[in-house]
Amino acid sequence: MLPEPIHYWNFNEESGAAIDSIGGLRARVESSAGPWSVAGKWQNAMRMGKATGAKKVEIKRPDGASPPDLAPPWTVAVWIKRHEGATGGATLLCSDGFAIKIEQYGTGSKLGVTQRGGGIGDRSIEEALPSDAWSHLALVATDAGTTFYIDGVDKGTLPSIKAPMAYLGGTRNSWNLTADPDEMLEATIEELRIYNKALRPEEVRELVGLEPEIKPPPPPPPLPFEKLPLQSVLDAMLGNVPELTKNVPFPWSITYDVNTEGTALSDGGTDMFDIGNILATESGTLTYSNGIIKRYGPVGPKGAYFTLLLRQMFVAVVDLDDRQSFGTRGQLGADGGSVDGTVLTATVDGAKYRGFVKRVYGTSDPSVNHLFIVRDDAGAVKHAFPNDVARDEHTLTGLSQGCRVYYLMFGSRYNRIGQEVAYDSFQKIMEALFSLLKAQAAQPAQPAQSP
């Protein structure tokens, strides 16, 4: 049975740092490099060289320090596909004192090792890796020497060195970033393992036949629901109407004389409105969209919105751009009764949301209730409405750049038994909205639809 390595990279990341999943080291690709991930022998692999700009990759511990070179005994094993293009001196691993050479300087493309500063200098074996073909390379070091294995076959032994742990890649001239780019490692590497012991020949052969556990890439983390595209919000609402409206007590169906593509509700059923529910920013009035996403106009140069009539609830979701206010205006059909409101709060995934409530009740007509929901971490948003039952006005101000506003309006017959819609019902409606949006955010991303 093979021993456990002390460091292991499978290079399944797509760009940035490659993570040592056992020892916690990070192989940090220089910022000038592009995505380095390519199809490998098993899964993803790191393409080093001019094709990606990954030429000298720093290896760092979690504290930011470079790991020390590893004294014998040690084993370095990797699947590697050497590419043509380097002129000599290209390294697999290097440090200030040592290097494992994929193409030893002055030998063409022979494998070797190097010790700088009065050590053994440049040494090579009489073997080279094939070009553009996958090979398994293993170096096994003891105090007696460093033995090279290609696909499990002993190809020769050189003097012993420490395993260099500072960089992946590099070149012969001080092995720095400013060296001749033609000397950088041109290769694709995968399944890099480092052991703090010398594997036996039979263990090296076993390692060649070892197939890594193929794990599907983890799903991307769900988007915060506030980052959902408007189309996804619309889909969530259309697919969850009962969930969204279930907390409306004695709901009133908004069915009579409704123009779903105009700018107002002229009645709404049994005199809910005398032309009301007119939505507007400081730049003008919104036209109802009837489930179609509309862009620009009064919501700003990069803004977008949709409106939706859900039979027992009217909904608008508005992404504002360079607009600071949003609200509704018009006239209610209510006769008598009272008006009041409150501000609800909720924290979702660390973000603070506020629900601004206005309710009308105790009238001889269906009550009309507003709920505006916005993210408001700083508590800067204000709402205002007149103490006048007949006026369908409710305005938010102090909205931030790029703010998303959820507006839910519904009628209730509750007032006819002498009761207002409890604030707790508004809170439950707000929480139901959050719940269905979070569920939508957890779904796989869908292609965006054209407006």
pLDDT tens readout for residues 147-188: 999 999 999 999 999 999 998 887 544 444 444 555 578 899
Give CA–CA dist 93/56, Å, rounded. 9
Q: Which residues contact 217 (CB under 8 A, 6 or more apart)?
A: 12
Region of poorest pLDDT, from 27-36, 87-96, 418-427: 27-36
For the segment 259-287, the average pLDDT, to the nearest whole number, is 84
For the segment 291-303, the average pLDDT, to the nearest whole number, is 93
Q: Does residue 237 share a domain with residue 175?
A: no
For residue 449, being part of any structural domain is answered with: no
- Work out the widest C-alpha separation in the chain, in whole angstroms: 100
For residue 2, being part of any structural domain is answered with: no
SS3 427: helix
Q: pLDDT at position 429, please?
A: 97
Q: Does residue 252 share a domain with residue 110?
A: no
Q: Does residue 381 share a domain with residue 239?
A: yes
For residue 316, being part of any structural domain is answered with: yes
pTM recorded for the entire structure: 0.54
For the chain, give the mean pLDDT. Answer: 86
For the segment 8-12, the average pLDDT, to the nearest whole number, is 91
Q: Does residue 93 share a domain with residue 28?
A: yes
Q: Does residue 375 surpass a pLDDT of 50?
A: yes
Q: Does residue 276 share a domain with residue 187?
A: no
Give CA–CA dist 415/207, Å, rounded. 77
For residue 146, being part of any structural domain is answered with: yes
Residue 207 vs residue 105, higher pLDDT = 207
Handedness of CA 198, 199, 200, 205 (dihedral sign): negative
Q: pLDDT at position 218, please?
A: 61
Give CA–CA dist 404/163, Å, rounded. 55
For residue 241, being part of any structural domain is answered with: yes
Residues linked to residue 76 through DSSP beta bridges, in sequence order: 139, 194
Q: Which of 178, 208, 238 is the last residue of a domain?
A: 208
- Per-residue pLDDT tens for 230-271? 999 999 999 999 999 999 988 888 765 555 568 988 876 667
For the segment 380-401, the average pLDDT, to the nearest whole number, is 93
Q: Does residue 245 share a domain with residue 188?
A: no
- Per-residue pLDDT tens for 334-349? 767 889 999 999 999 8
Q: Does residue 254 share a domain with residue 204?
A: no
Q: pLDDT at position 70, please?
A: 96
Q: pLDDT at position 259, please?
A: 56
Q: pLDDT at position 178, please?
A: 44
Q: pLDDT at position 90, please?
A: 84
Measured distance between the N- and C-terminal CA atoms of the chain, rounded to whole angstroms: 59
Residue 215 pLDDT class (50, 70, 90 cuts):
low
Q: Which of 143, 175, 208 is the last residue of a domain?
A: 208
For residue 294, being part of any structural domain is answered with: yes
Q: Does residue 298 surpass a pLDDT of 50?
A: yes
CATH number at residue 191: 2.60.120.200
Residue 309 pLDDT class (50, 70, 90 cuts):
confident
Identify the domain containing residue 289 by its residue range. 225-441
Residue 32 pLDDT class (50, 70, 90 cuts):
low
Q: Does residue 366 surpass a pLDDT of 70?
A: yes
For residue 89, being part of any structural domain is answered with: yes
Residue 327 pLDDT class (50, 70, 90 cuts):
very high
Q: Which residues contact 165 (CB under 8 A, 6 or more apart)?
A: 59, 66, 67, 68, 69, 70, 93, 95, 194
- Per-residue pLDDT tens for 44-92? 899 988 777 777 788 998 888 889 999 999 999 999 999 987 656 788 9
Range list of H helices, 159-300: 201-208, 230-238, 241-245
Q: Does residue 167 share a domain with residue 78?
A: yes
Q: Does residue 295 share a domain with residue 176?
A: no
Total domains in the fold of the chain: 2
CA atoms within 13 A on the CB side of 149: 24
> Cα dist. 306→254, 260, 295, 312, 435 in Å?
18, 11, 9, 17, 20
Give CA–CA dist 146/112, Å, rounded. 10
Q: Which of 180, 208, 236 is the last residue of a domain?
A: 208
CB atoms within 10 A of CB 166: 22
Q: Does residue 242 share a domain with residue 391?
A: yes
Residues linked to residue 358 through DSSP beta bridges, in sequence order: 341, 370
> Which of 373, 385, 283, 251 has its CA nearest to residue 330?
385
Q: Does residue 237 share a domain with residue 195?
A: no
Which two tokens mark 46? Answer: 């790191």
What is the share, in percent, of the chain residues with pLDDT greater than 90?
Answer: 54
Q: Does residue 234 share a domain with residue 172?
A: no
Residue 216 pLDDT class (50, 70, 90 cuts):
low
- Per-residue pLDDT tens for 402-411? 899 999 999 8
Query: What DSSP character marks residue 63?
Result: T
For residue 217, being part of any structural domain is answered with: no
